[in-house]
Structure 1
Amino acid sequence: MTPTDTRRLVDPELLTLLDAWPKVDLTEDLLPALRSADRLPAPELDAASKAVDMTRRTVPGPAGAPDVGVLVYRPTGAGPFSCIFHIHGGGYVIGAVDGQEAQHRGMVARLGCVIVTVDYRLAPETRFPGAIEDCYAALAWTFANAAELGVDPTRIGVMGESAGGGLAAALALLARDRGDYALAFQHLIYPMLDDRTVTHADPHPHTGEFIWTPHNNRFGWAALLGVEPGSDGVSPYAAAARAEDLTGLPPAFVSTGSLDLFLEEDLEYARRLLRAGVATELHVYPGGYHGFDFDPAAAVAQQARRDSFAALHRFLNQGPI
């Protein structure tokens, strides 16, 4: 797809963040520098967020694979607490387990929950199924150690943004199909779900110009899969949109921006979840590009964060449907 000038469609309050965001066309040679680059400035922590306990743990990895690192954030008190199992984004090729520490501390302080976030292996060094199996191993550890963590095992759900949202959706499928763990919810923020998006003959004319572009999307999927995106035989545990049956999945929250490259794949996944009888809440934010909700001041970003927080609050306090 040849990008068009969609800047006129961006919410004006989001332009400052857009202009500050580095413009990058991913290549394998760039990955080391991107992985070590400075991140967006973290918000100032309040006293309650600073009081949240954070510990680093190493947990058993998949059979024949290295152990997996996790960060565990706990509120004060004895519990039992509900739990968010979080998976970071980064197109399957970048991102870090501690990249959202400030956000996680604030969520734990406000929601009164535990957050476990997983340091999964990145592509292209590790192809599918390495990342999803790392996530499954860390999820298994979370359930097995729920009592030690002060977690109610009936109130554990998965959450992720972008590629993390894609992994969260795939993890919900894998947990359902293996039958070992019952998840309370899946909370998917502009999830990266469908490798076939970059192969569409008639792509959406107004999405994907900013932040996460068709070029970067093709690179990320090829790095994960080891084959060209859109190839036959791609597993639904790599690209959740490939799943033929979405019945029996936990209730879902799906949000995206109107200019996000993932707009149509996210809309379609939400539609299919609803048709499969999965309670699903869907939000599309006008003028929002990929990652827009990190803007600290824009009204549309604040609304997206409020909606996300409200859905998490409901999920964490009512348990599985």
Structure 2
Amino acid sequence: MTERHPRHTAPETIDPVLLAALPGLRAAGRARPLTAGTLAAARALGAAEVPTVADLARGGRIRVEEHTTASGVPLYVLSPPGGPARAAVLHIHGGGMVAGAARADLTLASDWVEQLGVTVVSPEYRLAPEHPFPAGADDCFAALGWTAERHATVVVAGVSAGGNLAAATALLARDRGGPALAGQLLVCPMLDDRTVPEPGEPPELHNTWDRWDNLFGWTALLGDARGTAGVSPYAAPARARVDGLPPAYLDVGSADVFLDEDVAYARRLWAAGVACELHVWAGGFHGFEFGVPDAPVSVAARRARTDWLRRLLDARQGEPERRA
């Protein structure tokens, strides 16, 4: 099992601005920990917070279209309205493998459309437990194929479970001989099915996703295989060899349940000779920038991701861009 810091979700380790917001987030949030009995309510709560197409369009500054891959995966496509995009970002939503939606988690990605002139493609991948592995990974790889047919430069990005699927998509692209990726942007990615509670460990009140939630999400995805030697690296990228992957950006809060596995993944990328930028945001719990978007640490985290993506795309400037 990945070594972990035993106190990285204690109250004194949380950024003070984020800590002050936690009671309100807990009062408005789902029951803890997540279980089969509370999953439907958690999904309904999340669905009520998903932005509308009009929200995503930002008063006409972004063109929003709906498409479908040949295999039937629904896609939301956000593009600059005034001309061809310089690149595409395949952006994969979070939700612990069991919740979330294609229109969720797109605030920063929508900023990229406006600030960087990219197209964002967000797949409505199938969720566990109704659709266990490899359904979601297959859907995201199909979305990559659709995107790469239309754009010469593609970056894959994802948040939490979406970070897992983004990493898995990069692994699949490497092992299946393409499509080629320019980079992978992994935000607090959920990478290791072995990050589960110790016997008798209580739920963590100072996190928005803890090891008990993680146990539920991974079990929904993998069933009895969770934690065994037979788990596919495309399900749990922490188990994968990482040589030959595209440049990576990883970030995670220091109070995030995924801290140790994310830092370990970055270290393995470095050891394999893969360019990787890692940011550990002091005092950040899981998904802090979504729960408290105006906190200084949240603003800094969004800015750092955008800066990395801008530098990555600037380095590839001049490649011809295909359009359908």
Task: Please report the TM-score for the alignment, with normalisation by the length of structure 1.
Answer: 0.87
What is the rounded CA distance, in whole Å, between the counterparts of 1:188 and 1:102 in structure 2? 15
What is the rounded CA distance, in whole Å, between the counterparts of 1:258 and 1:5 in structure 2? 8
How far 1:215 sits from its partner (Å)? 0.5
CA contact (8 A) 1:82 1:317 kept: no
Which of 201, 209, 212 in structure 2 is aligned with 1:212?
A: 209
Count of residues in Structure 1 that have an aligned counterpart in Structure 2: 303
CA contact (8 A) 2:133 2:222 kept: yes
Residue 132 (structure 1) aligns with: 137
How far 1:14 sits from its partner (Å)? 0.7
Residue 173 (structure 1) aligns with: 171
How far 1:3 sits from its partner (Å)? 8.0
Change (3 A) 1:160 1:117: same
Q: Please list the CA deviations of residues 182-230 of structure 1 after superposition, one character each: whole Å capped at 9, or x if unmatched.
A: 10000000000011122779x9xxx895111111000000000122531
Q: Give the secondary-structure state (helix, strand or coil) at the position aligned to 2:78.
A: strand
Residue 40 (structure 2) aligns with: 32
CA contact (8 A) 1:56 1:72 kept: yes
Identity, % of aligned positions? 45
Which of 7, 13, 25 in structure 2 is aligned with 1:9?
A: 13
CA contact (8 A) 2:154 2:181 kept: yes
Pairing 1:291–2:295 present: no
Pairing 1:100–2:86 present: no
Structure 2: runs of 5+ lacking an equivalent: 318-324
Change (3 A) 1:131 1:4: closer
How far 1:9 sits from its partner (Å)? 1.5
What is the rounded CA distance, in whole Å, between the counterparts of 1:49 and 1:283 in structure 2? 33
Q: Give the secondary-structure state (helix, strand or coil) at the position aligned to 1:230.
A: coil
What is the rounded CA distance, in whole Å, between the counterparts of 1:39 and 1:77 in structure 2? 29
What is the rounded CA distance, in whole Å, between the counterparts of 2:55 and 2:101 in structure 1? 20
CA contact (8 A) 2:8 2:255 kept: no
What is the rounded CA distance, in whole Å, between the counterparts of 1:230 and 1:306 in structure 2? 36
Structure 1: runs of 5+ lacking an equivalent: 62-66
How far 1:19 sits from its partner (Å)? 1.8
CA contact (8 A) 1:157 1:185 kept: yes
Q: Give the secondary-structure state (helix, strand or coil) at the position aligned to 2:21.
A: helix
Which of 236, 239, 251 in structure 2 is aligned with 1:255?
A: 251
Larger mean Cα displacement after TM superposition, 158-167 or 106-115: 106-115
Q: Give the secondary-structure state (helix, strand or coil) at the position aligned to 1:196.
A: coil
CA RMSD of aligned residues (A): 2.7
Change (3 A) 1:5 1:143: closer
Which of 272, 278, 281 in structure 2 is aligned with 1:282?
A: 278
Residue 65 (structure 2) aligns with: 55
Q: Please list the CA deviations of residues 15-65 of structure 1 after superposition, one character each: whole Å capped at 9, or x if unmatched.
A: 2432222253111222222212132899x979966420001112222xxxx
Residue 234 (structure 1) aligns with: 231
Which of 106, 114, 118 in structure 2 is aligned with 1:109?
A: 114
What is the rounded CA distance, in whole Å, between the counterparts of 2:21 and 2:124 in structure 1? 27
What is the rounded CA distance, in whole Å, between the counterparts of 2:177 and 2:118 in structure 1? 25
What is the rounded CA distance, in whole Å, between the counterparts of 2:159 and 2:222 in structure 1? 19
Pairing 1:73–2:78 present: yes
